């Protein structure tokens, strides 16, 4: 029996899907987004999950129609998927209703169940629920389970309920009925506000008004250690990354005033654009403010572990009439902070030898060390008030299940606050706001830190409750109640009435230590919820050992960690194969990037990814084949971890089905020939779809593995199986050969520049070497100078950097136009004037601009191999910006109609 192909196995509107994810990936404070209910890591955009899930369920028209009729119907389907792949579709009841109707029709009214065993923040299950499916979502981590219950279970269970708070209903604006989660959201707002008012009364003495009588937004502190200079008599000196407080329209800084004779200092505030004092900390270590004596990191670590790291108030930030106001520290505010005496603090040891946990290196071993005493008192008081509120509501004989759900949301709000209310939060002088801790999947160290106000202002508890409430209002309406289960994906298998459709975003090898990171939130959630949900919060900390990541610190060695990950994924894929819907392929999101040396007799120097290898081994060994691959944008291009590294912006979505029992056996040569025949076409499609150069090598794994997995076995010349590791190396090799062959499409000058750039970059080289190379490339050094890409002087030559190229360059009058110059002029325009300036140049280049975009892929691969990070980022950024550059060029620079509305900031 021939299996009918689903749309996702044939075609997707990839550009529309990636463009539709932009509001979610580019704006972390998108109003009403479900992620505001609670923090989580590695979040899949809702628009991406929704579009891909719909395409996973719907048959491709080619199954039943002639080619031309199928093409027409397929284009209509793709246009509908493009509509689903927008942020606006999230709350478009009409569009979602049509999608549900199409899915129901596809399955003759018997819509299948859905399961995600790595539910995480519930992006994929939430969209399955929105599309009308009966959802089961599971996860080992109790914080993830809490988020899933808040997003999937409670909203559907209590839909249409009126609020229970005691305020006079006549004062509520125009709400005769309560649709969906509106009533639940109203209760979260009201009780959050009441709890904040009570907290304000209890904590008033700890949070005095500012020197101007206005609300304090934040107190800025510097950590201190004793000076290493004996002449300073052990005086504690500050560790400050930057003294800048504001740096956009005005320049405001902390000014340290030192008295070196008496070894004293104090802080004052200056507003002077010509004054910007250097901090005392850099990547090389610190310097003593009083004597300029060096303070190496080893010295700072030693002092911190001896208990000699303290803190000193640097500045007070208050609300102003039109701008923030900054004040020098005073004794009253120092005393207010010092009087805080917490009676409870979290007790959770952090990993001491892990790249993503820096505080333990400085003696801050426990999560309780990551909060000031005043923060512990404030957060503990709010937790107590939530418990008191629950007790009061239960005493009023209200529906206890509803009260418990409300308690979950109030607990999420205080847990959410801890991302900002920690002694690792920092001050951002660009937007003059508090920067939160988890800007990436790590707990970094902070030297100068920011203590925000938890009872007044934009980071108070009532605002956190508002974040949660606004997220509730965008959740699916009239959706089936989901089943949320705390399960180990390796061994926990729920019962289903019918085989479920499976789509999941599993852990990425060792990229994210979910359990260790989640402890930061778990300790606060458990304080409130252990009596409400004893099953989820039964353990003192999150489960660690069974977590399906490859953590050498947890398992004792890299080999044992890899074995744990490998065997675990094998069990997961066995479960998926035995449980998944027979007519619907599975989809697996994967966004892992790690390369290691691979030394084989004929593939020396090729590199493969341990994470990919391990995950794919489980897939292959359990009898799956890859029937489709799609690179989809899942993170913003400028996220913190990517600013100085070639990090992935895309996830690769693998579409998988059980491999037919009669699949053929192939030789290694058959595999190589198939890769050389099919991979170049797939790469061309990826480049046309504007895959980021940083993602290309990972994206190529998909179509490469589609070739490898269609065979039952692949045998080498000795009859031994070609394993996944070698297959990945062959895919990498074919990718490199394909990119090299693409050089033939470029002009002779650009081919010379590529060869020279590979060897020298933008550095100087000998004229004679350049001349010899020019003859091989059928050009000349003088001609390259005339082309405007090369500088020749005193027996040496070098390529001109983008910033050295003329800003008034006109391609239409250039008598020796090269792809090389087009690329670097576009880079110059993008980096100096943004996408709008680059669009002006792209408009002049017209169709020729595509050649420049194609050259970026080759340039990026050269930079990555040579570890030239800065140049690599420039080429990657140009390609990532290309859709917007092309749109602006077509439309004459017109802004997007709804972009300003979508990017409303609701948090600081």
Angle at 412 between CA 407 and CA 413, to 5 degrees: 100
Average pLDDT for 279-304: 94
**Does pLDDT of 726 surpass 80?**
yes
Task: For residue 591, give the DSSP letter.
Answer: -
- Between 691 and 660, residue with greater pLDDT: 660
Nearest to 447 by CA among 336, 321, 587, 286: 286
pLDDT at residue 317 above 60? yes
Can you tell me the distance from the alpha carbon of 150 to that of 326, in angstroms, rounded to the nearest whole number? 39
Given phi > 0 = left and psi -120 to 50 = alpha, else beta, which region is 285? left
Query: Residues 249-276: what's their mean pLDDT?
Result: 88
- Lookup: tokens for 148: 């899933």
| Exposed e or buried b per residue across 619-643, where buried means at least 16 C-beta atoms within 10 angstroms of its C-beta | bbebbbbbbbbbbbbbbbbeeeebe
The pLDDT assigned to 643 comes to: 39
Instruction: Return the exposure string of 491-514: e unless at least 16 CB atoms fall within 10 Å of the residue's CB, then b.
Output: eebeebeebbbbbbbbbbbbbbbb
Measuring CA to CA, which residue among 340, 347, 333, 344 is closest to residue 372? 340
What is the maximum alpha-carbon separation in the chain?
Answer: 91
The two counts, helices (H) then strands (E), for the chain are: 29, 27
pLDDT of residue 171 exceeding 80, the answer is: no
Tens of pLDDT, residue by residue over 82-102, are 999 999 999 899 999 999 999
Q: Which of 319-333, 366-380, 467-481, 723-737 has the highest mean pLDDT?
A: 366-380
Give residue 415's pLDDT.
97
Cβ atoms of 219 and 372 within 8 Å: the answer is: no
Q: Name the E strands within 373-473.
A: 426-428, 433-435, 448-452
| Per-residue model confidence (pLDDT) at position 822 | 94
In this prediction, residues 791-806 reach a mean pLDDT of 92
pLDDT of residue 649: 55
Query: Is residue 603 predicted with pLDDT exceeding 90?
Result: no
Asked if residue 202 lies in contact with residue 438, where contact means CB atoms within 8 angstroms, the answer is no
3-state secondary structure (DSSP) of residue 716: coil
Burial class of 708 by CB neighbour count within 10 A (0 to 12, 13 to 18, 19+): buried
* pLDDT reported for residue 819: 92
Q: What percent of the chain has pLDDT over 90?
A: 63
Q: Is the pLDDT of residue 623 over 70?
A: yes
Q: Tell me which of 295-309, 327-341, 591-605, 836-850 is least confident.
A: 591-605
Q: How far is CA 365 from the centre of its chain?
A: 26
- Give yes or no for residue 601 having a pLDDT over 60: no
Work out the mean pLDDT of the chain and round it to a whole number. Answer: 88
Which residue in this structure is represented by tokens 């890899």? Answer: 562
Cα–Cα distances in angstroms (integers) from residue 109 to residues 7, 113, 133, 498, 693, in the given order: 19, 12, 11, 14, 43
What percent of the chain has a predicted confidence (pLDDT) above 70? 93
Q: What is the mean pLDDT of residues 738-757?
A: 88
- For residue 301, the model assigns a pLDDT of 95
Quick check: 598 pLDDT over 70?
no
As to burial, measured by CB atoms within 10 angstroms (0-12 exposed, 13-18 middle, 19+ buried), residue 170 is exposed
Contact in structure between 472 and 184 (CB atoms under 8 Å) = yes
Q: Tell me the C-alpha to C-alpha distance, in Å, between residue 777 and each of 222, 274, 311, 763, 855.
A: 59, 51, 63, 20, 17
The per-residue pLDDT for range 409-444, each reduced to its tens digit, is 999 999 999 999 999 999 999 889 999 999 888 999
Q: In the prediction, which pLDDT does 635 show?
A: 66
Give the integer Cα–Cα distance in Å for 47 and 40: 17
Task: Write out pLDDT tens, residues 830-888.
Answer: 999 889 999 999 999 988 888 888 899 889 988 988 888 889 889 988 988 888 898 88
Q: In 691-800, where does DSSP find H-type helix?
A: 693-709, 724-741, 748-760, 767-776, 781-786
| Segment 350-375 mean pLDDT | 93
For residue 743, what pLDDT is reported?
A: 81
Whether 904 shows a pLDDT value over 70: the answer reads no
pLDDT (0 to 100) of residue 866: 86
pLDDT at 477: 83
pLDDT of residue 267: 94
Residue 645 has pLDDT above 70, yes or no: no
List the beta bridge partners of residue 484. Answer: 137
Question: How large is the average pLDDT for residues 572-576?
Answer: 94
In Å, how far from its chain's centre is CA 390?
35
pLDDT digits (tens, 9 = 90+) for 545-556: 999 888 888 888
Q: Given a cut of 70, is residue 653 above it in pLDDT?
A: yes
**What does the angle CA 176 – CA 179 – CA 183 come to, to the nearest 5 degrees?**
80
């Amino acid at each position: 029996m021939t299996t009918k192909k689903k749309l996702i196995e044939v075609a997707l509107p990839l550009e529309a899907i990636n463009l539709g994810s932009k509001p979610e990936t580019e704006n972390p404070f998108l109003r009403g987004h479900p992620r505001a209910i609670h923090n989580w890591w590695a979040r899949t955009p809702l628009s991406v999950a929704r579009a891909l899930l719909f395409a996973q369920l719907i048959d491709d028209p080619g199954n039943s129609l002639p080619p031309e009729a199928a093409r027409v119907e397929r284009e209509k389907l793709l246009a509908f998927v493009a509509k689903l792949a927008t942020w606006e579709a999230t709350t478009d009841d009409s569009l979602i209703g049509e999608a549900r109707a199409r899915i129901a029709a596809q399955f003759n009214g018997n819509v299948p169940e859905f399961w995600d065993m790595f539910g995480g923040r519930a992006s994929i299950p939430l969209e399955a629920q929105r599309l009308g499916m009966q959802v089961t979502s599971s996860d080992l981590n109790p914080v993830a389970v809490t988020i899933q219950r808040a997003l999937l279970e409670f909203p559907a269970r209590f839909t249409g309920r009126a609020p229970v708070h005691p305020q006079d209903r006549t004062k509520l604006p125009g709400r005769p009925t309560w649709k969906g989660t509106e009533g639940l959201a109203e209760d979260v707002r009201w009780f959050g506000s009441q709890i904040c008012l009570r907290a304000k009364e209890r904590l008033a003495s700890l949070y005095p008004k500012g020197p101007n009588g206005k609300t304090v937004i934040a107190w800025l502190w510097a950590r201190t250690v004793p000076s290493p200079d004996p002449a300073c008599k052990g005086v504690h000196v500050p560790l400050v990354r930057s003294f800048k407080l504001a740096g956009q329209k005005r320049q405001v800084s902390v000014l340290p005033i030192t008295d070196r004779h008496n070894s004293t200092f104090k802080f004052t505030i200056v507003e002077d654009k010509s004054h910007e004092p250097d901090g005392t900390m850099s990547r090389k270590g610190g310097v003593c403010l009083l004597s300029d004596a060096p303070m190496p990191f080893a010295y700072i670590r030693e002092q911190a572990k001896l208990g000699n790291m303290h803190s000193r108030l640097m500045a007070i930030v208050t609300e102003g009439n039109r701008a923030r106001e900054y004040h020098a520290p005073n004794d009253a505010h120092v005393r207010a902070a010092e009087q805080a005496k917490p009676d409870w603090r979290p007790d959770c040891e952090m990993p001491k030898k892990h790249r993503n946990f820096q505080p333990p290196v400085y003696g801050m071993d426990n999560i309780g060390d990551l909060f000031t005493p005043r923060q512990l008192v404030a957060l503990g008081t709010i937790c107590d008030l939530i418990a008191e509120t629950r007790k009061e509501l239960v005493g009023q004989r209200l529906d206890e299940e509803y009260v418990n759900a409300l308690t979950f949301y109030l607990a999420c709000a205080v847990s959410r606050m801890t991302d900002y209310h920690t002694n690792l939060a920092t001050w951002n002088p660009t937007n003059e706001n508090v920067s939160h801790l988890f800007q990436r999947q790590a707990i970094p160290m902070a030297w100068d830190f920011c203590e925000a106000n938890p009872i007044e202002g934009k980071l108070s508890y009532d605002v956190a409750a508002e974040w949660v409430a606004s997220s509730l209002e965008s959740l699916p309406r009239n959706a089936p109640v989901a089943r949320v289960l705390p399960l180990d994906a390796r061994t926990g298998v729920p019962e289903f009435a019918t085989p479920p459709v499976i789509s999941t975003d599993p852990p990425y090898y060792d990229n994210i230590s979910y359990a260790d990171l989640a402890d930061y939130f778990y300790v606060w959630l458990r304080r409130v919820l252990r009596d409400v949900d004893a099953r989820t919060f039964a353990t003192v900390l999150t489960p660690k050992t069974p977590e399906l990541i490859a953590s050498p610190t947890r398992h004792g060695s890299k080999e044992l960690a890899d074995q744990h990950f490998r065997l675990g994924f094998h069990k997961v894929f066995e479960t998926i194969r035995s449980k998944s819907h027979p007519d619907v392929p599975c989809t697996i999101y994967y966004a892992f990037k790690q390369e290691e040396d691979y030394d084989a007799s004929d593939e020396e120097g090729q590199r493969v990814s341990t994470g990919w290898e391990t995950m794919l081994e489980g897939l292959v060994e359990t009898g799956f084949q890859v029937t489709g691959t799609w690179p989809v944008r899942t993170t913003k291009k400028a996220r913190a971890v990517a600013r100085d590294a070639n990090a992935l912006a895309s996830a690769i979505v693998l579409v998988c089905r059980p491999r037919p029992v009669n699949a053929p056996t192939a030789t290694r040569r058959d595999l190589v020939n198939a890769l050389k025949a099919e991979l170049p076409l797939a790469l061309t499609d990826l480049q046309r779809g504007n895959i980021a150069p940083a993602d290309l090598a990972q994206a190529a794994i998909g179509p490469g593995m589609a070739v490898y997995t269609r065979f039952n076995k692949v045998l080498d010349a000795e009859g031994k199986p070609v394993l996944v590791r070698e297959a990945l190396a062959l895919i990498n090799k074919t990718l490199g050969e394909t990119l090299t062959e693409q050089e033939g499409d470029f002009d002779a000058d650009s081919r010379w520049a590529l060869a020279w750039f590979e060897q020298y970059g933008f550095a100087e080289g000998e004229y004679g070497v350049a001349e010899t190379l020019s003859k091989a490339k059928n050009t000349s050094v003088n001609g390259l100078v005339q082309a405007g890409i090369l500088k020749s002087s005193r027996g040496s030559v070098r390529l001109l950097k983008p910033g050295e190229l003329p800003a008034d360059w006109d391609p239409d009058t250039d008598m020796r136009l090269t792809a090389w110059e087009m690329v670097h002029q576009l880079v110059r325009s993008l980096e100096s004037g943004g996408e709008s300036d680059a669009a002006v140049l792209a408009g002049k280049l017209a169709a020729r601009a595509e050649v420049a975009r194609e050259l970026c892929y080759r340039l990026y691969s050269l930079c990555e191999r040579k570890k030239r990070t800065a140049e690599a980022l420039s080429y990657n950024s140009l390609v990532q910006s290309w859709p917007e550059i092309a749109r602006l060029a077509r439309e004459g620079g017109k802004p997007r109609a709804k972009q300003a509305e979508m990017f409303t900031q609701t948090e600081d």
